[in-house]
Amino acid sequence: MTRRVRVVDSHTGGEPTRVVVSGGPDLGTGPVSQKLDRFRSEYDTFRSAVVNEPRGNDAIVGALLCEPSDPSCDAGVIFFNNVGYLGMCGHGTIGLMVTLAHLGRIRGGVCRLETPPGIVDAHLLDDGRVTIRNVASYRSAVHVPVEAPGIGRVYGDIAWGGNWFFLCSGHGQELALDRLDELTDFAWRIRQGLTAHGITGSDGGEIDHIELFGHPTAPGADSKNFVLCPGKAYDRSPCGTGTSAKLACLYADGKLRPGETWRQESIVGSVFEGTVSVVNGKVYPEITGSAYVNADAELILDDRDPFCYGIRTAGALVTPAVLPTGTS
């Protein structure tokens, strides 16, 4: 059996997003968080087929559009990667907006999106940039010590920005693009330390993103980061949810007031602008960035292909290799 899946690829500050436009699984009805459970338990092979090699690579974040359950929303979206599923994805939401413009589905203005952790407003600006108002973000713990194997004790804050982050400054690492292997190894050891010592987010969620901060090099930037994603790929963008987590920490420390701009540079030199608004004591980060569409294609899922569902990497496939009964 062969299935065809239409996708549109884009990159946001260098970080790729692949939006599934048609041919994806039918996830039924209910809130997007429930659809995510169905996606994970019944159609994980589809996730792997779309983003993993040989069609994709470890850096690609997939986005599956679905019906929202909240009547105030225009669409629902579930983000996924090489090893599983994300809560929210900032660069992916910016990529989704330019993809919808490319498809002629929006011309500008605001789209309200239902994501598993909550509602996100995304605004396609006149100059082509996109501003997202993320889910409420917060710091849950300050200056937490972690014993990282082979490194020793490192300290960092734990914050939620739609995913859980460990945010670490003063680590002694130079953040430079020619040090990707060293930075990946360093951040991965912190991740292992968090897991080994049972350190989680305040809701018990796994801290699966590690964010290292250093001095900026881009003109006008306030800080540079290196973000290690759950499947060991580094984020080429400054990471929308990671920047949200950073903004929540800055606000909590009294270092960023509502409406002030923070410019976060990525390890490849791309920059997001961030600010916060505070409503009923909750901090809502707003992130602005640019994305570009770079492919409009059809994936072919041919059952006879031994690697039809992707090459198994860190997060081995758990579901049998069945094709979803899809919408197209």
Q: Which segment (84-92, 97-105, 186-194, 248-256) binds ligand PYC by CB under 6 A?
A: 84-92
Q: Using alpha carbons only, what angle is made at residue 165 by residues 312 and 228, rounded to the nearest 5 degrees?
A: 45
Binder of ligand PYC out of 27, 51, 111, 239 (CB under 6 A): 239
Comparison of 45 and 81: residue with beta carbon closer to ligand PYC: 81
Residue 17 contacts ligand PYC per CB under 6 A:
no
Residue 166: name the closest of 218, 119, 224, 205 by CA. 205
Minimum separation from the CB atom of position 86 to ligand PYC (A): 6
Minimum separation from the CB atom of position 16 to ligand PYC (A): 10
| Residue 101: Cβ-neighbour burial (10 angstroms; 0-12, 13-18, 19+) | middle
Binders in 37-76 for ligand PYC, by CB under 6 A:
61
- Convert residues 141-180 into a mask of x (bound to ligand PYC by CB under 6 A) and - (unbound): ----------------------------------------
Comparison of 240 and 274: residue with beta carbon closer to ligand PYC: 240
Separation of alpha carbons 272 and 261, rounded Å: 10
89 is an active site residue: yes
Residue 5: name the closest of 48, 69, 67 by CA. 48
Residue 89 contacts ligand PYC per CB under 6 A:
yes
Give the distance from CA 40 to its chain's centroid.
Answer: 17
229 is an active site residue: no
Q: Which segment (100-108, 117-125, 232-240, 252-260) binds ligand PYC by CB under 6 A?
A: 232-240
The pair of three-digit structure tokens given for residue 180, joined into one six-digit string: 């990707």
Q: Give the count of beta carbons closer than 10 Å to the beta carbon of residue 2.
A: 11
Size, binding site for ligand PYC by CB under 6 A: 12
The pair of three-digit structure tokens given for residue 134, joined into one six-digit string: 């993320």
Minimum separation from the CB atom of position 317 to ligand PYC (A): 21
Q: Which segment (152-160, 191-199, 233-241, 246-254) binds ligand PYC by CB under 6 A?
A: 233-241
Residue 229 contacts ligand PYC per CB under 6 A:
yes
DSSP 88: -
Residue 10 contacts ligand PYC per CB under 6 A:
no
Residue 13 contacts ligand PYC per CB under 6 A:
no
Q: Phi and psi at residue 206, in whole multiples of 5°?
A: -65, 135
Q: Which of 66, 111, 168, 239 is catalytic?
A: 239
| Residue 317: Cβ-neighbour burial (10 angstroms; 0-12, 13-18, 19+) | middle
Binder of ligand PYC out of 16, 23, 24, 90 (CB under 6 A): 90
Comparison of 66 and 229: residue with beta carbon closer to ligand PYC: 229
Q: Using alpha carbons only, what angle is made at residue 187 by residues 62 and 269, rounded to the nearest 5 degrees?
A: 65
Alpha helix positions (H), the chain = 32-42, 44-51, 90-102, 180-196, 240-252
Minimum separation from the CB atom of position 161 to ligand PYC (A): 7
Residue 91 contacts ligand PYC per CB under 6 A:
yes
Kind and range of the H or E run holding 131: strand 130-133
Residue 245 contacts ligand PYC per CB under 6 A:
no
Separation of alpha carbons 257 and 240, rounded Å: 19
Binder of ligand PYC out of 48, 241, 264, 288 (CB under 6 A): 241
Torsional class of 310: left (φ above 0), alpha (ψ -120 to 50), beta (otherwise): left
Q: Which of 66, 73, 89, 249 is catalytic?
A: 89
Binding site for ligand PYC (CB under 6 A): 15, 61, 86, 89-91, 229, 235, 237, 239-241
Q: Which positions are annotated as active-site residues?
A: 89, 239
